Structure 1
């Protein structure tokens, strides 16, 4: 149901333990998945840049779930498969693929209240580091309501 990964990362001279939980999106896991949300500092909410259904599921499925179980956790919106969005061969071989534009991604970011929107490709590695750097920086931001000094702490994002 969950794939977990942990690593120590140096951020601004401090070592931070980053925990990454990749959760199953299938309907079969709807009852188990929210158990992993407790303690999350940031969510990486990803959709495919070549799938309209994936894009629409962000607003229809994922945002209601995250806002119900973790209403105050910031979201970094991630468009994946950037390398395929303008790949003419791929698009001709997959007529059902519907490329999502950067403008549509930015619009979705505003609609769901995400703190950031990044497009990336795991195949070419374009912007992959930026996704995780952004998530770590968001997770380490002190909460707006608290005025206490920030203590280094582990961060977990999904």
Structure 2
């Protein structure tokens, strides 16, 4: 019997403290939502996923978003294949920190690594804030998003 292909990929997840990074990974890996908020310093998970005919061992590196852990977080970046940059949909400061902090840090330590922007806590945000998020994303210089694509991106990320 012929065995399928296999691969290893490292995904690093960053964003402000309390923006929903750990919850996102816990639900993805364990299928349950954490009952209590416990700040993360560093946590890693391994999840097997199937992509077409390839079995992918996905190493998920959860990092601390608080400033006091900046010097530790940078050790998560080497050999990253992709970076998720998260923000909380109910927190405008977390969104503005994408440009002020996270994009700069990821670009410095992971040049040429793909970045995926993820809005978390959809259940806690309101319609007015949702409109502001899509408007702010369209105007930011950090990520170049053609206006025609913004609606599709916002929809697929559950921002609308």
TM-score (norm 2): 0.60
Match of 2:102 in 1: 62
Residues 119/27 of structure 1: CA separation in 2 closer, same or farther (3 Å cut): same
Write out aligned runs for 1:15-54 (5 A).
Answer: 15-54=55-94
The correspondence of residues 61-100 of structure 1 with structure 2, limited to 5 A, is 61-86=101-126, 99-100=129-130
CA distance in 2, matches of 1:111, 1:120: 21
Q: Work out whether residues 42 and 61 of structure 2, in 8 Å CA contact, stay in contact via their aligned partners in 1.
A: yes
> Paired residue for 1:151?
none
Q: Name the SS of the counterpart of 1:25 in structure 2.
A: coil
SS of 2:71's equivalent in the other structure is coil
Structure 1 unaligned runs (5+)? 88-97, 122-158
Residues 46-68 of structure 1: CA deviation (Å, up to 9, x unaligned): 10111110000000011111111
Q: 2-side partners of 1:29 and 1:41: how far apart?
A: 22
- Report SS of the residue matched to 1:30: helix
Structure with more contact order per residue of length (Cα contacts < 8 Å, sep ≥ 6): 1
Q: Is the 8 A contact 1:52 1:100 kept in 2?
A: no
Q: Give the 3-state SS of the residue equivalent to 1:50 in structure 2.
A: coil
Distance 1:4 1:105, change over 3 A: farther
Distance 1:18 1:103 in 2: 30
